[in-house]
Amino acid sequence: MKFLDLAKVRIRSGAGGNGCVSFRREKYIEFGGPDGGDGGRGGDVWAEAVEGLNTLIDFRYQQHFFAENGQHGMGRQRTGRDGRDVVLKVPVGTEILDEDGETVIADLTEPGRRVLLAKGGNGGWGNLHFKSATNQAPRRANPGQPGVERTIWLRLKLIADAGLVGLPNAGKSTFLAAVSNARPKIADYPFTTLHPNLGVVRVDGREFVLADIPGLIEGAHEGRGIGDRFLGHVERTAVLLHLVDATSGSVAEDYLTIANELSAYGAGLEEKPRIVALSKIDALDEETRAERKAALEKAHGGPVLALSAVSGEGVKAALRALCAEIEHARSDAAAEADEAAAGADLPAAGGPAAPKERPR
């Protein structure tokens, strides 16, 4: 299945049905009076996050979603049928943006979450509503309200706990294949990975989701290479694993290239916890390893791991470091959620306290 993480769609809610002008006509009933019914309500347009989807490819072949109009009112006080709703089923992690591509309407990060994108128009009143003591035979009815038409963007950001970043051919896909059941394409030329890949990693009885994105090059934020458009898929991660190719003669420059691209992209990636690792160390002797690890530590300003996805050396240590950062982020999120729940239960400042229970 082809991967697509950005789609432009046009939606329109249903218009409400018109009210009816009608009078009761029956034998032996001389003054039947008005009996026009109301128009039905137009259908709404919803978006819903569902499990089992990881691409927006369906929206490449269908870009227009129009809800059904409400039925017009009828005589004998019959109300028109409401229009059917339209539901856009999107993958979990989809952001819905306005036509400008920047204003976020909703962020569907949980399965089953729904958001109303366009509300259907109300149905018009029939002439029965306008009957009064001074106007017993009204000949007017309201038209239905029009629907809402708008253009929106769907942007998918994959849900992962950790993300892999680095230059092309830094060993990211090989690492993902070695630690999970994912089978990304692996080859000895740059830009082998053309779209993000996800894998479930298990270490010490714990699991987390690891995302591999296409490699970055200098100037990616300006559109060079594949660009930085796939960095959105690691925005939600708790930690980044930055792999630097040990066989490169300029490990410090390679590290700074990616660090600068993350900073230029923004969205908090430059502040996200990052574990730096020297990859492909199986191709080097001990002396060269030590020399390049020292150069990378100097550029990074902190400790650096060394690993080889082929031989397995240092892989467990990297996974445990990732797992520790993920659990720390999860505990912080749980504490914030508990704080918010406790704050919601407290009475507002200056407001009345909860009434005490009266003794029986």
Read off the pLDDT of residues 267-299 as tens digits, 9 standing for 90 and up: 888 888 999 999 999 988 999 999 999 999 999
Return d(Cα 177, Cα 186) in angstroms, integer: 9
Residue 148 shares a structural domain with residue 198: no
Write the pLDDT tens digit of every residue in 224-258: 877 787 888 888 899 999 999 999 889 999 999 99
Write the pLDDT tens digit of every residue in 19-54: 999 999 888 888 889 999 999 999 999 999 999 888
Q: Mapping DSSP to helix (H, G, I), strand (E, B) and coil, where does residue 174 land?
A: helix
pTM of the predicted model as reported, rounded to 2 decimal places: 0.81
Residue 102 shares a structural domain with residue 170: no
Residue 141 shares a structural domain with residue 281: no
> Residue 258's pLDDT is what?
92
Write the pLDDT tens digit of every residue in 3-23: 889 999 999 999 999 999 999
pLDDT confidence tier of residue 146, bands split at 50, 70 and 90: very high
Residue in the structure block whose two tokens are 């849900």: 159
Return d(Cα 351, Cα 123) in angstroms, integer: 41
> Residue 359's pLDDT is what?
43
Distances (CA, A) of 322 to 181, 210, 240, 254: 18, 10, 8, 22
39 neighbors 123 (Cβ within 8 angstroms): yes
- For 292-335, the three-class secondary structure string (H helix, E strand, C coil) is HHHHHHHHHCCCCEECCCCCCCCHHHHHHHHHHHHHHHHHHHHH
93 neighbors 56 (Cβ within 8 angstroms): no
Residue 52 shares a structural domain with residue 66: yes
- How many folded domains does the chain comprise? 2
CATH number, domain of 32, equals 2.70.210.12
Domain that holds residue 303: 162-334
Residue 229 shares a structural domain with residue 277: yes
